[in-house]
């Protein structure tokens, strides 16, 4: 997962430099999708473990926050041209990537870290400030509901 995030960093840096998303759009969307798939699989694997780790909640919460951010990133990127979000989406994503890298490290190693929840909270707050985390409970079928519903039912999250 870290490898994919590093790839994303390269794409977003190029987008920022070029001032547009166009050239790297397809590859970036594909990489985000792969990351989402990986996170979903990790979430499922965690639940199916014979001996559930005692820090399951912390890890799953961190994964859920990651999922919401990546799906938000995907949606914004896909509509960046129409919404004139180009290349602001790249700048916003670059602001969040350092914490995404740190959390990928925790998730990959299933690391027992007392600060995991704190990391999840920092990540959510940084993403919110960069418009990459949107909880809108007023709309039916909002993104969060979709993510939790899809995780529960195992439906493909790809947007």
Q: Which of 2, 91, 125, 155 binds another protein (CB under 8 A)?
A: 125
Burial class (CB in 10 A: 0-12, 13-18, 19+), 68: buried
How many residues are recorded in the chain? 159
C-alpha–C-alpha distance, residues 158 and 56, integer Å? 24
The residues near 96 (Cβ < 8 Å, ≥ 6 apart) are: 69, 123, 126, 127, 130, 132
Work out how close the CB of 103 gets to another protein at its nearest, in angstroms, rounded to a whole number: 14
Residues in contact with another protein, counted by CB under 8 A, come to a total of 23
x-or-dash string of contact with another protein, 49-88, rule CB under 8 A: ---x-x-xx--xx--xx--x--------------------
36 to 55, contacts with another protein by CB under 8 A? Answer: 52, 54
Examine residue 27 and tell whether it contacts another protein (CB under 8 A): no
Work out how close the CB of 1 gets to another protein at its nearest, in angstroms, rounded to a whole number: 19
């Amino acid at each position: 997962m870290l490898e994919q995030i590093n790839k994303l960093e390269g794409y977003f840096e190029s987008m920022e430099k070029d001032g547009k998303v166009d050239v790297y759009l397809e590859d970036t969307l594909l990489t985000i999708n792969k990351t989402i798939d990986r996170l979903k699989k990790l979430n499922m694997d965690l639940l199916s473990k014979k001996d559930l780790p005692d820090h399951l909640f912390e890890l799953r919460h961190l994964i859920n926050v990651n999922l919401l951010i990546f799906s938000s990133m995907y949606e914004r990127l896909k509509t960046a041209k129409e919404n004139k979000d180009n290349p602001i989406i790249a700048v916003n994503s670059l602001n969040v990537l350092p914490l995404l890298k740190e959390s990928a490290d925790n998730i990959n190693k299933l690391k027992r870290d007392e600060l995991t929840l704190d990391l999840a909270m920092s990540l959510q707050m940084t993403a919110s400030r960069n418009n990459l985390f949107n909880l809108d409970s007023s709309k039916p079928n909002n993104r969060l509901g979709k993510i939790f519903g899809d995780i529960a039912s195992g439906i493909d999250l790809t947007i």
